[in-house]
């Protein structure tokens, strides 16, 4: 493998507290669900289309409380995963405020993906899948429902982001 095949990407996870940002990251990094909140920011190496990617993923633990992740965080990010919790209508509604903030501070060409997490919690669902799809269309970004618990779509999300970024690199 050639060194020029190595790309470094910076991705940040944003969204209301409790939507599952840390859990999603832990699931991607370690392939398991560890209940309970804790902060985690990791660098993960993986291959996409024969390219080796080193992706540093920043989990915005705590700061979401203040509705403002530091501006440097946004400025340096190539990709942003905007999460809501499918069992929380307010977390879904709040994605609009998050997106406003993203557009204000992030680079214009940042890759954004809208994610409806906790897709395993079917009986407590408050946001329908088609509502998520509709909002993503309005925002002009891709959409997926994920479960940090079961791992559904978690690899796909990070690979889709990495692939998109690789095309632009």
Site of interaction with ligand GDP (CB under 6 A): 17-23, 35, 37, 117-118, 120-121, 147-149
Beta strands in 6-165 (DSSP E): 7-14, 42-48, 51-59, 79-85, 111-117, 143-145
Do 11 and 160 contact (CB within 8 A), yes or no? no
CB-closest chain residue to ligand GDP: 20
Complex with Mg ion: residue 44 or 61, whichever CB lies closer: 61
- The least CB distance from residue 55 to ligand GDP, in Å, is 18
- Which is it for strands 79-85 and 111-117: parallel, antiparallel or unpaired? parallel
Can you give the binding site for Mg ion, defined by CB under 5 A?
A: 21-22, 61
The site partner of 23 among ligand GDP, Mg ion, none (C-beta below 5 to 8 Å per kind) is: ligand GDP
- Residue 91 binds what, of ligand GDP, Mg ion, none (CB under 5 to 8 Å, by partner type)? none
């Amino acid at each position: 493998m050639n060194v020029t095949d190595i790309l470094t990407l910076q991705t940040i996870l944003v969204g209301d507290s409790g939507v599952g940002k840390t859990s999603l990251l832990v699931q991607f990094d370690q392939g398991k669900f560890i209940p309970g909140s804790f902060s985690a920011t990791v660098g993960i190496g993986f291959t996409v289309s024969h390219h080796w990617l080193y992706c540093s993923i920043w989990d915005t633990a705590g700061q979401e409380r203040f509705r403002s992740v530091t501006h440097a965080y946004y400025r340096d990010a190539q990709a942003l995963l905007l999460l809501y919790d499918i069992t929380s209508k307010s977390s879904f509604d709040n994605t609009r405020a998050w997106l406003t903030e993203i557009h204000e501070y992030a680079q214009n060409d940042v890759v954004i993906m809208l994610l409806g997490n906790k897709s395993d919690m079917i009986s407590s669902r408050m946001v329908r899948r088609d509502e998520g799809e509709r909002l993503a269309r309005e925002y002009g970004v891709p959409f997926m429902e994920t479960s940090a618990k079961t791992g559904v779509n978690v690899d796909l999300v990070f690979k889709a982001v990495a692939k998109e970024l690789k095309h632009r690199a």
